[in-house]
Amino acid sequence: MKKDMTDTVASTEERIKEAARKVFLEKGFDGTTTRDIAQAAGINSALMNYYFRSKEKLFQSIFNDLCTMMFEGMLSIFNQPMTLKEKISAFIDHEFQMMRSNPNMVNFITNELHRNPERLFETIGLAKKIPESVFQKQVDEAIAEGLIVPISAHHILTMIIANSQFLFLSKPLTMQSNGMDEAAFNEFAVQHMAYVKDMICTYLFSPQKAT
Amino acid sequence: MKKDMTDTVASTEERIKEAARKVFLEKGFDGTTTRDIAQAAGINSALMNYYFRSKEKLFQSIFNDLCTMMFEGMLSIFNQPMTLKEKISAFIDHEFQMMRSNPNMVNFITNELHRNPERLFETIGLAKKIPESVFQKQVDEAIAEGLIVPISAHHILTMIIANSQFLFLSKPLTMQSNGMDEAAFNEFAVQHMAYVKDMICTYLFSPQKAT
DNA sequence: AAGTGATTTAATCACTTGGTTAAAATAATT
DNA sequence: AATTATTTTAACCAAGTGATTAAATCACTT
C-alpha cells in the first residue's frame, strides 16, 4: 500500500516528481542526472526506477503535466464568456502571471521540443483544441462586423504569446546586459506588459484600419 | 606550420569548429559529446583536444562567435543613417532574415544562457553598446518632438526582438500543432512579420497617442 | 508473532563520458 | 638524407552514466 497521502509529507512518488520537475526545469533533460534527482528528492537513486521505469519515462510524465497546464490555462480563458477585447486583455494578464510564477517553463518546453519534437505527441490533442475555441469564432465575427483589423486568430495568438513569453525567455540576457537585479527586472516587466497590452489592443481595434 | 589555408579544404581547426557549431546548435552543450563532434568533423576525437583544450573551451569559442554576430548585426543597423521609422522597419527585416538563415540560434543562445549566464561575460561589452547607439538618441528626439508615443528604446527593442525571435523559437510547436510543413510555416512567418511590422509602427507613430 | 506484499536500500553492472598519452605518420627545415 | 616540428592516431584512464539486483525494512493482516 501507499503511504498515508493525507500526511503533511507527500507520498514518495509525488516527492520524486516534484524534485524531478525542479531539476529538469533548471538543467533540462540532458543536463540532469538521475542522481541529481535522487539527491533533490532525498531518496536512494534506485527508487526513481522503482516508481518510474526510467529517466525518460519520468521526464515525459513531467513534460506532459507542464504542457497540459499551459494549454489548459489558455483554453480556460478562450472559452470564458467575455467580449473579445476583455478576452485579449485577460489572456495577456494570464500569460504574464503564468510566466512570473514559472519563469523557466517556456525555455524548458521550447528547448526540449526543439531537441525532440515528438515529445508533444501525448498533449498535441489539447494544443489542437485552441483553434477550435470560442476565441477563434469571436475573432471571425469581429472581423465580419468590422470591429477589428482582418487578421487570423492564429496571428493574434502568436503576437500575444511572443510578447509575454519572450520577455521571460530573455530574462538572463536582459538582466545581465542592463545590470538589473530581480526587482529592477520585475519593474521593467510590469511596464513592458502594459505597453504590449496597449499596443496589441490599439492595433487590433484601430477604427481606421478595420474596414 | 598550419596546412595550406588557401586550399579548397578548410584547415582542420576550422573544420572542427564548423562541425562543432553544427552539433552544438542542434543538441546544446549538455546533449553533445566530444565524439559527436569528432565524427561530424571526420577526425579522431583526440584531435579536438589538441586544437581546443577542452569541450568547454571549444563551446565558448563558438558561443562567443554567435553572440558577436548577433549583437554586431543589431548595432550595424542601429548606427546607420536612417529615420527612426526606416530603422525600425529595417531592424525587423534584419531580425527576420537572421532567424531564417539560422533558425535555432536563438533557442541555443537563450537556453545556454539560462543554464549558465556567465557565458555572456566575453561579449557583454558588445551588448552594452546597444543602449548607447544612435537608435537610442533618435527615440528620445522623436519623443521630444511628439512624433512617437513616449516609450524607452529598451521597450521598443524588446518588442521587436520578441516578435521576430519568438516566431522561430516556437517553430516546432507551431508546425506540429497546426500540421504545417516547412513551406506552410514559411508562408505563415512572412505574413506574421508583415503584421508585426505594421503593428509596431502603427503603435509607435500613432498621432493621437503621441502628445 | 509470524507471514505477506509493498517499499527502500547498498552494492554493483555494463557502458559512456571528457580527457590523456605515447607512438606513428606527415610535413618542414637543415 | 637527417633532423626537427607538426599533425594524427589507437589505446587507454578515471569518473560518471542509467539501470538492475538481491537483500533489508516497513505496514499491515492473520
CA dist., res. A20 & res. A2, Å (int): 20
Q: How far is the CA of A46 from the C1' of D22 (A)?
A: 13
Residues B52, B40: Cα–Cα separation, whole Å:
16
Residue bearing cell 571526420 = B42
Would you state the pLDDT for residue B103?
87
Which nucleotide shows the minimum CA-to-C1' distance to residue B48? C19
Assess whether B46 (CB) lies less than 7 A from strand C. yes
Q: Model confidence over B35-70: pLDDT tens digits?
A: 999 999 999 999 999 999 999 999 999 999 999 999
Within the 135-194 window of chain B, which residues sit less than 8 Å (CB to CB) from chain A? 151, 154-155, 158-159, 161-163, 165-167, 169-170, 172-178, 188, 191-192
Q: What's the Rg (C-alpha) of chain B? A: 20
CA/C1' separation B3–D5 (Å): 13
Nearest CA in chain B to A189: B155
Residues of B in contact with A127 (CB under 8 A): 173, 176-177
Query: Cβ contacts (< 8 Å) between A59 and chain B: which residues?
Result: none
Residue B12 burial (C-beta neighbours within 10 Å; 0-12, 13-18, 19+)? middle
Buried b (16+ CB within 10 A) or exposed e, A25-64: bebbbbbbebebbbebbebeeebbeebbeebeebbbebbb
Which residues 29-48 on chain A approach chain B with CB closer than 8 angstroms?
30-31
The predicted structure's pLDDT at residue A6: 38
- pLDDT for res B5: 36
Rounded CA gap, B124 and A166, in Å? 20
What is the length of chain B?
211
Give the list of residues 6+ apart from residue A29 with CB closer than 8 angstroms, or none.
A59, A112, A115
Q: Which nucleotide lies closest to B43 by the C1' atom and the CA atom? A: D8
pLDDT for res B7: 38
Give the angle subtended at the CA of A211 by the CAs of A77 and A201, to the nearest 5°. 35
* Closest Cβ–Cβ partner in A107, A128, A199 for B111: A107
Mutation test of the interface with chain B: which of A32, A126, A173, choosing the one with the most B Cβ atoms within 10 A? A173
- pLDDT of res. A208: 60
Distances (CA, A) of A106 to A77, A103, B46, B64, B74: 19, 7, 37, 24, 25
3-state helix, strand, coil in chain B (%, to 5): 75, 0, 25
Give the whole-angstrom CA distance, residue B138 versus residue B147: 11
pLDDT band at A207 (very low <50, low <70, confident <90, very high): low
Residues ≥6 apart with Cβ < 8 Å to A31: B30, B115
User: How many angstroms separate the CA atoms of B156 and A161, rounded?
Assistant: 17
For B56-109, how does the pLDDT look when each residue is reduced to its tens digit (9 = 90+)? Answer: 999 999 999 999 999 999 999 999 999 999 999 999 999 999 999 998 999 999
B211 pLDDT above the threshold of 90: no
Q: Which of residues 50-89 of A touch strand D (CB under 7 A)?
A: 53-56
Q: What CA–CA distance (Å, rounded) separates A196 from A188?
A: 12
Q: Can you tell me the mean pLDDT for A177-182?
A: 94
